[in-house]
Amino acid sequence: MTETNDTEAELTAYCGLYCGDCLRYRSKVTASARDLMSELKAVQFDRYAEVKSASVKELENYKGCCQILDAIANLRCDTPCRSGGDGCLQPCEIKSCVQVKKLAGCWECGEFEECGSFEFFRPFHGDNAKENLRKIKEYGLNSWARHRGKFYSWL
């Protein structure tokens, strides 16, 4: 899918990550979990699982399964951070810093290479955010995204 320049800039987080690549951003996974939960409730599957667990032992874990589906459904993010969202599910030190410094993003900060604020998402993103920041500096906010690296470290 090719993004327009306005969308490309809007989907670029302050930290250099691209929200459009995030598993949580307008996610089919989170929507599917929500839809499955609704369907299970509509047919009162909890009652079925309770009775059927006598012969299908895995259904004894139905309540835990629902808790996991609910957690997945609640991960959904519909608004990129540059548009007012909070994709990190917690206060973001990077977002606060950029806003205090009145910058468009970390790519405008001369200290991003040494900045320790990126450490909290290293398990998910490795060094991708800083690599993207370098690409934003090189190609500009409206045309960097086609050069971006992988979003998650395990992909």
- Kindly state whether residue 155 falls inside one of the protein's structural domains: no
Q: Quick one: pLDDT at residue 149? A: 84
CA 103, 117, 72 angle in degrees (round to 5)? 100
Q: Quick one: pLDDT at residue 91? A: 80
Summarize the chain as % helix, strand, coil (round to 5): 55, 5, 40
Q: Quick one: pLDDT at residue 128? A: 93
137 and 88, same structural domain? yes
68 and 44, same structural domain? yes
- Kindly state whether residue 152 falls inside one of the protein's structural domains: no
87 and 12, same structural domain? yes
Question: Percent of the chain at pLDDT above 90?
Answer: 70
Residues 6+ apart with CB under 8 A from 19: 11, 12, 13, 25, 77, 80, 81, 85, 87
- Kindly state whether residue 153 falls inside one of the protein's structural domains: no
What burial class does residue 87 get, using C-beta atoms within 10 Å of its C-beta: 0-12 exposed, 13-18 middle, 19+ buried? buried
CA 126, 88, 14 angle in degrees (round to 5)? 70
Contact indicator for 112, 120 with CB cutoff of 8 Å: no
Q: Quick one: pLDDT at residue 3? A: 40
Q: Torsions phi, psi of 77, nearest 5?
A: -125, 125
| Structural domain harbouring 134 | 5-17+83-147
Q: Quick one: pLDDT at residue 1? A: 36
131 and 92, same structural domain? yes
58 and 94, same structural domain? no
Q: Quick one: pLDDT at residue 133? A: 97
* Tens digits of residue pLDDT in 1-17: 334 445 889 999 999 99
* Tens digits of residue pLDDT in 34-72: 999 999 999 999 999 999 999 999 999 999 999 999 999
Detail the DSSP E strand segments found in the chain: none
- Kindly state whether residue 23 falls inside one of the protein's structural domains: no
pTM: 0.80
